């Protein structure tokens, strides 16, 4: 019989919750239901109240702001996490991405240099930065698991995804190199590539509804994806059942990635 609380005693940090429809929240809820104790970060005053309310609902010991473009802020966050969890960390969920709205319209070719690097910094380098900060906390507990969120737009050109696709390609490569570096300390790094999920971030992508209908029409399973599907896959990668899985991208898109047309 499967363990009803597979994350009992585990401590995790969740980056990227915006509201209760967030993929990061679906993952957090799954982990908390499985016994994990979780800390949360938020970006900006606008969503602080949402994140605190959700975190309080599962008894989180820490909710703190984090600017992932600042190494000093990341260092502060992980110092607070270390204090909350006795200097140890088992799980890290990275669900952070950003590109300027105007760069998700028109031509990728017209992306200005400063906004190109901003998208890569927030969406990809942030994984490197937080993984580096998590390393000593995870090493102290004998290892850990890191999961990030990616998308097929990093492998293929998707209309209106533009610079975010380039950022996701960078994220995908970073997962592999982080896995290679951190494996010696029993720290696993994986990604989940989800199909279209109706989240706050999805609303900024022009033609999102069209993307959703195309995936449902052409995917082998002919059905939509929701945040709970992504949470289940992420929970597997974060669990001890996946102890020999690292450097991997797990697709949760009803099989759409396997199709040529």
Q: Which domains does the chain have, with CATH numbers?
A: 11-250 (3.40.50.720)
Percentage of the chain surpassing pLDDT 90?
88
Cβ atoms 225, 257 nearer than 8 A: no
Residue 59 pLDDT exceeds 80: yes
* R_g (Cα) of the chain, nearest Å: 17
Residue 202 pLDDT exceeds 70: no
| pLDDT band, very low/low/confident/very high, at 261 (cuts 50, 70, 90) | confident
> pTM here?
0.95
The sheet carrying 11-15 orders its strands as 62-65, 37-42, 11-15, 91-94, 144-150, 187-194, 249-252
Distance CA 44, CA 65 (A): 7
Largest pairwise CA distance in the chain: 55
Cβ atoms 107, 154 nearer than 8 A: no
pLDDT of amino acid 50: 96
The residues carrying an active-site annotation are 151, 161
């Amino acid at each position: 019989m499967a363990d009803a609380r597979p994350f009992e005693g585990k401590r995790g940090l969740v980056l990227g919750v915006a509201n209760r429809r967030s993929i990061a929240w679906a993952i957090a809820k799954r982990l908390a239901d499985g016994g994990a104790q979780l800390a949360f970060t938020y970006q900006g005053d606008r969503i602080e109240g949402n994140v605190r309310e959700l975190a309080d609902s599962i008894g989180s010991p820490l909710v703190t702001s984090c600017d992932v473009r600042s190494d000093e802020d990341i260092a502060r966050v992980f110092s607070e996490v270390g204090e909350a969890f006795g200097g140890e960390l088992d799980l890290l969920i990275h669900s952070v991405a950003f590109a300027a709205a105007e760069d998700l319209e028109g031509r990728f070719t017209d992306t200005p240099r400063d906004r190109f690097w901003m998208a890569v910094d927030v969406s990809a380098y942030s994984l490197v930065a937080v993984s580096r900060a998590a390393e000593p906390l995870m090493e102290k507990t004998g290892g850990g698991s890191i999961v990030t969120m990616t998308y097929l737009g990093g492998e293929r050109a998707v209309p209106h995804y533009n610079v975010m696709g380039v950022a996701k390609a960078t994220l995908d490569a970073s997962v592999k190199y982080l896995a290679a570096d951190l494996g010696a300390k029993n720290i696993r790094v994986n990604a989940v590539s989800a199909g279209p999920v109706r989240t706050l971030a999805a609303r900024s992508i022009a033609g999102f509804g069209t993307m959703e209908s195309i995936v449902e029409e052409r995917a082998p399973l002919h059905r939509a994806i929701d945040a709970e599907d992504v949470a289940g896959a992420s929970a597997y990668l974060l669990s001890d059942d996946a102890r020999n899985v690292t450097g991997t991208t797990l697709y949760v898109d009803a099989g759409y990635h396997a199709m040529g047309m």
